[in-house]
Amino acid sequence: MDSRYPSLKVGVLGAGTVGSQVIRMLTEQSDDFAARSGARMEVARVLVRNVDARRDAPIDPALLTTSPDEAITGMDIVVELIGGIEPARTLVLRALNDGISVVTGNKALLAAHGPELYAAAAESGADLYYEAAVAGAVPVVYGLRESLAGDRITKVMGIVNGTTNFILGAMNSQGMTYEDALKKAQDLGFAEADPSADVDGLDAAAKCSILASLAFHTRVGIEDVAVEGITSITAEDMSEAAYFHRTIKLLAIAERRIGEDGREGVSMRVHPTLVPLDHPLAAVDEAFNAILVEGEAAGRLMFYGQGAGGAPTASAVLSDLVAAAHHRAYGGHAPRESVYAHLPILDPGTAKTRYQIRMQVEDRLGVLSDVAGIFARHGVSIQSVHQRDDKEPGACVIIATTHLAREADLRAVVNALGQSDAVREVTSAIRVEGE
Ligand code: HSE
């Protein structure tokens, strides 16, 4: 044992794709991590459900245990990679209450119970780190919390879910249907057998709430995020987007803006979005993540990289481990929850956005005027209209793109169009950003 460095015991909860890579890298690069943190981290126990399961990287069987008590009691740092709410919440709280620092990659847990975990860490003096919870290897948590602590952030907008980006990318580049692209993502191991958290936008919403809390120094939960997933996006939506030199991305958008009562607040939304092909987020392919951050002083920054996968996510966990180990050995602590701004959460209906609405209408005299009247009656200004013949006899297709308008008014337009005699069907209504 190298006596230059104090020795620290690390308990790892979960030895799946990420956990087994964390253990491998911590073991293989032990000397480097000791030199960087000033402490020798030793994996002392690994909590698993089944000691005989096959692992992505080999783990000394003597370390494996099915007892949470053995994996937590007496540790200096606990790494939580179980995922989900329970038992992760109980185990993380137990560690924090015992003064054990925690590194977690669990976005669902943070988005639902962040304040409780932060309070427990502050009370006992333990660290709570979670770089791996958002965008895998991409250091956006550190970037917002520390690198940009000298700035006033106005907007965070990005692709924070690799699975949906892969699906939309396959629809875009190969003309696949949503169902075929999802199947391809599952065959290649990107999407889970139950992909609902990804495709319904909930994974992105959890990450959006974590980023918004950091950016705006305000407590934000997943319930504060207006969410729409990608399940209704069709191959036709994608080819239509390409016709107009755009593509469709699932974006998480958190912004600081003035509410209708004149007070500043924050709003968060996750939805499929048309972005122009020359926008930086349009070029983010496959399962990559990218987050644009706008600071008043710094201007626009982009964080880009691998948002999932064993080794990339392990990289984020290990950077947190280095910081937590240093504090453990020499004092100091991780930044605490910063909620001093206490900004109100704005009603999503008051967000200003733009829609592109595609509809099949009756091909008759005055139809365009009927459609335009509906927009006008709801105070929504049209930026452009495109009309073409439809395959169905007696029908044509109108694609209208609006100027910025209140989300609630845009929804009212879509509802009114759906009920109008002039319109056979509203086939899609997708928000537009970045132009
Ligand atoms: N399901 C997530 C994604 C994994 O597809 O991005 C990383 O959180």
Mean pLDDT over residues 71-98, rounded? 97
pLDDT tens figures, 314-344: 999 999 999 999 999 999 999 999 999 999 9
Atom 4 of ligand 1 has which residue's CA nearest to it? 308
pLDDT above 70: residue 2:
no
Contact 211, 241 (CB under 8 A): no
The pLDDT of residue 66 is 97
Domain borders along the chain are 7-135+311-330, 140-306, 351-432
Ligand 1 atom nearest to 289, measured from its CA: 6
pLDDT above 80: residue 3:
no
Residue-by-residue DSSP string for 214-257:
HHHTS---GGGEEE--STT--HHHHHHHHHTTEEEEEEEEEEEE
Mean residue pLDDT of the chain comes to 96
Exposed/middle/buried for residue 84 (C-beta within 10 Å: 0-12, 13-18, 19+): exposed
Cis status, amide bond into 87, omega within 30 of 0: yes
Question: Residues near 406 by Cβ (< 8 Å), separated by ≥ 6?
Answer: 349, 350, 351, 352, 379
Q: Residue 182 belongs to what H/E stretch? A: helix 178-187
* Binding site membership of 17 for ligand 1 (Cβ less than 6 Å): no
Distance 110 CA to ligand 1 centre (A): 15
The dihedral of CA 126, 131, 133, 136: what is its sign? Answer: negative
**In degrees rounded to 5, what are phi and psi of residue 65?**
-145, 155
Note if 183 is an active site residue: no
pLDDT tens figures, 42-58: 999 999 999 999 988 88
Q: Which fold would CATH assign to domain 351-432?
A: Alpha-Beta Plaits (3.30.70)
**Nearest Cα to 130, choosing from 23, 214, 225?**
214
Distance 171 CA to ligand 1 centre (A): 19
Neighbours of 86 (CB within 10 A): 9
* Binding site membership of 198 for ligand 1 (Cβ less than 6 Å): yes
Q: Which CATH number is associated with domain 7-135+311-330? A: 3.40.50.720
Distance 108 CA to ligand 1 centre (A): 11
**Nearest Cα to 136, choosing from 318, 12, 298?**
318
Distance 366 CA to ligand 1 centre (A): 48
Q: Residue 307 belongs to what H/E stretch? A: none
Rounded distance between C-alpha atoms, residue 435 and residue 432, angstroms: 8
Rounded distance between C-alpha atoms, residue 155 and residue 254, angstroms: 6
* Binding site membership of 308 for ligand 1 (Cβ less than 6 Å): yes
* Binding site membership of 428 for ligand 1 (Cβ less than 6 Å): no
Percent of the chain with pLDDT over 70: 100
pLDDT tens figures, 390-403: 999 999 999 999 99
Atom 8 of ligand 1 has which residue's CA nearest to it? 308
Q: Kind of pairing, strands 225-227 and 264-276?
A: parallel
Q: Which fold would CATH assign to domain 140-306?
A: Dihydrodipicolinate Reductase; domain 2 (3.30.360)
* Binding site membership of 203 for ligand 1 (Cβ less than 6 Å): yes
What is the pTM (predicted TM-score) of this model?
0.96
